[in-house]
Structure 1
Amino acid sequence: MLNTSLTAANAYNLAQRLTNQAQSDNTLQKAADTNTDFGAMVKEGVMGVLDKGQVAEKTTSAMVHGKADVVDVVTAVAETEVALETMVSVRDRMISAYEEVMRMSI
């Protein structure tokens, strides 16, 4: 029973990550199609991560008070984790691009 629950939870987590990745790809395509400011785009991404973190905190608090299910908490925390991992990945790519530009000869 426990193994089946873990397998189902892992499958759900993978499906959620793939969905979030597809949504991120759509967001990136929309950003490429419009003429937006890079700083505004970064700010929007950070605000999205913060919003997901706040939802996870509220869901956890609701579970402590008996108003939410464990599945809701796990889902909210997983969404926050994926958003944070995406933000860290973007940060790493930006640093790598900056370092590459700095190595270029003038």
Structure 2
Amino acid sequence: MISPTLAASAYDRARHAVSPAAGEAQGINTAAADFAKVMEQVDLAATGAMTGKTETHDLVHSIAQAEIALETVVAIRDKVVEAYQEILRMPV
């Protein structure tokens, strides 16, 4: 039988193997900032279209970019949830 002390020490030894690298966390932050920027641009284009300051073509283009960005984020979220569920199904 595995004692709690043995399990805790094994966890401590394995922690460094699964911690994210500094570059990986930075990449996620950059991707989130890029997504927020795309959503902000579509908001500005929509506001501009309503006030007559933006062409309809520019509005449609920014909406298409926002749709692609949103679909990408949703696909990534689905993969993360799927991986988490797979981990939960693993026998301990």
Return the TM-score normalized by structure 1. 0.60
Aligned residue for 1:18? Answer: none
Question: Displacement of 1:48 after TM fit?
Answer: 1.4
Higher Rg of the two aligned structures? 2
Alignment partner for residue 91 of structure 1, among 55, 68, 77?
A: 77
Q: Percent identity?
A: 25
Aligned residue for 2:58? Answer: 72
Aligned residue for 2:13? Answer: none
Aligned counterparts of 1:73 and 1:90: Cα–Cα separation in 2: 26
CA-based RMSD of the aligned residues comes to 1.9
Alignment partner for residue 40 of structure 2, among 24, 37, 54?
A: 54
Question: Displacement of 1:40 after TM fit?
Answer: 2.7
Aligned counterparts of 1:49 and 1:98: Cα–Cα separation in 2: 23
Cα contact 1:46–1:87 (8 A) shared by 2: no
Question: Displacement of 1:67 after TM fit?
Answer: 1.8
Return the TM-score normalized by structure 2. 0.68
Question: Displacement of 1:54 after TM fit?
Answer: 0.6
Cα contact 1:60–1:73 (8 A) shared by 2: yes
Question: Displacement of 1:49 after TM fit?
Answer: 1.4
Residue identity matched to 1:36: G
Gaps of 5+ in 2: 1-21
Aligned counterparts of 1:100 and 1:41: Cα–Cα separation in 2: 24
Indicate the SS of the match to 1:36.
helix
Gaps of 5+ in 1: 1-34
Aligned counterparts of 2:46 and 2:85: Cα–Cα separation in 1: 40
